Chain A
Amino acid sequence: MAGPSTSAELAAELASRPGHTNLGSTMVRWLLISVSLFFLGALLAAPLAAVFATALEKGWQAYFSSFGDPDTRSAIRLTLITAAIVVPVNTVFGITAAWCIAKFEFRGKSILITLIDLPLAVSPIVSGLIYVLLFGLNGWFGAWLQEHEINIVYALPGIVLATMFVTFPYVARELIPLMQQLGNDEEEAAITLGAGGWFTFFRVTLPRIRWGLVYGVILCNARAMGEFGAVSVVSGNIRGLTTTMPLQIEILYNEYNFVGAFAVASMLSMLAVVTLIIKTLVERSGYRRR
């Protein structure tokens, strides 16, 4: 770099030298902090506040009575049922996959990891579409299913499958790096001393991965309860029967029942807040995400 040629450049040069940086760096600091907070405020805080403001627009009475609507109630029930099926299944899968990947060396391991992550990269609409193509009327198994009067698409099994696909990687993703980092030494010691496989898992491995597990499970749960696109494709939106909470939000919103829509949305927002609180507590307890 050639030396400073204009007085402005000279001033900038001088200001940037040690001992002269205080005023400048304080300004940059407050500029960056305010830009960041403004960005977050407009994009995240304002919409969240708007959810509660709109839900309570007509007072608490209207807010609470919107949960008395039978369709809303059945949507809440369906969401809880779906999560109650999906989360345990994906937790068992996540633990199994993490055990296999973290404890053993084998060929094709990195491909396996990439394939487990695949659902994260797939559009939710495609995630729903694939089950419609498999089990829908014109799908591979469509004719057979109709003959045996089994409903998968536009019924609970389809909703569960689509949700399972979308939340498939969450527990595994959390546990794989954690278990890889913890290594095999303690498990090997337990086995060598005569402990069985299950005993080793429950008494040696599980206590050491419990925070990572909690983290993965709550994220999986939040996504399972909140999935919209994939479920929307397979659900068929049969009111009171195949609408989950996010779908009920859409229905109420499109009917201009804003209090009702935002009341359901406020419930899901609280779920998200609780998820974040648990996540923060888990991190406080010493668990660090990689």
Chain B
Amino acid sequence: MNKVRQREPNVIPGFGITLGFTTFFLCAIVLIPLAALVLKAGGMDFSRFIDVITSPRAVASYRLSFGAAMLSAAVNMVFGFALAWTLVRYDFPGRNFVDAIIDMPFALPTAVSGIALTAVFAGNGWIGQYLEPMGIKVAYTWIGITVALTLIGMPFVVRTVQPAIAEVQRDLEDAAETLGAGRFYVFRRIIIPTVLPALLTGFTLAFARAVGEYGSVVFIAGNMPMKTEITPLLIFIKLEEFDYVGAAALGCVMLAISFVMLLAINLLQLWGRKRMMVSR
């Protein structure tokens, strides 16, 4: 068998079997179940489908899920950039430790971060007790939801932006400063253009993760219909009421959002790579 294969460009065995197994497993675990969701929702009357996904309670939940996810991703863009910059450019005691714990939200179960954040930001919590007298109620409001989503999305932004900051050419910065450019000018004209694709990719990744997040949010959210009820929770409630069709319809909306986000992430990464090649 080897003798025949050697004349072909690729002598490595196992193409058929690995491709077959990968495709089979992908279909069994991911694609067929997702198709079941789409078909279940597709099986319902179209006007009913529209009614379910545009009901006031659903729309309120989209507004909250989107708004909080967007806000948390924006917060992460600012603080994530500061963190990434600090980790790449500055040396300070404990830098390696800080760098290591950035990934904590990846490894920490969402239910744990949910109850932990609630404990800290509740009215009698370590941080909540100082915010509450100032009139800022975090736990059981949209602010708490945003805080939880910010924690979940943080590593996405930092880990995407870090390598991009390392790519910024220091000599270009130095040259600009030597020529009399101010720090803000250097930041705006040299650093931001280099880091922008990574920053937007990080934003999108954090947003995509945050919009569907459930575990860390349900504990801190308060879960009041129309006010602090996120879309994933609404799906959960519909399931508990045995409204499978309604749950499937809302699930389809979430799935459509996931696809759009995936597309956006791929396009952003493509754009980033192109820019990188042009600048070299």
Contact = CB atoms under 8 A, between A and B. Distances in A.
Interface of A: 1, 12-13, 16-18, 21, 24-25, 28-29, 32-33, 35-37, 39-40, 42-48, 50-51, 54, 93, 96-97, 99-101, 103-106, 112, 114-126, 129-134, 136, 138-140, 161, 164-165, 168, 184, 187-188, 191-192, 194, 197, 200, 219, 222, 225-229, 232-233, 245-247, 249-250, 253, 261-262, 265, 268-269, 271-273, 275-276, 279-280
Given A32-B82, A125-B235, A280 B100 contact: yes
Given A226-B108, A228-B110, A40 B83 contact: yes
Contacts of A25: 183
A246 B85 contact: no
11 contacts: A13-B180, A18-B177, A35-B82, A39-B82, A122-B34, A122-B255, A130-B36, A265-B111, A272-B107, A272-B112, A275-B107
Contacts of A225: 109
Contacts of A28: 183
A225 to B, nearest CB: 7
Interface in B95-112: 98, 100-112
Given A47-B113, A96-B21, A279-B103, A229 B37 contact: no
A43 B254 contact: no
Interface string B167-188: 0000000000110111101000
Given A32-B86, A227-B109, A121 B151 contact: no
Given A192-B6, A233-B239, A276-B104, A33 B18 contact: no
Binding site secondary structure of chain A: helix
Contacts, number: 290
Which of A45, A130, A200, A276 counts the most B-chain CB atoms under 10 A from its CB?
Answer: A130
A43 B151 contact: yes
B116 interface: yes
Interface of B: 2, 5-6, 10-15, 18-19, 21-23, 25-26, 29-34, 36-37, 40, 79, 82-83, 85-87, 90, 92, 98, 100-117, 119-120, 125-127, 147, 150-151, 154, 177-178, 180-183, 185, 208-209, 211-215, 219, 231-233, 235-236, 239, 244, 247-248, 251, 254-255, 258-259, 261-262, 266
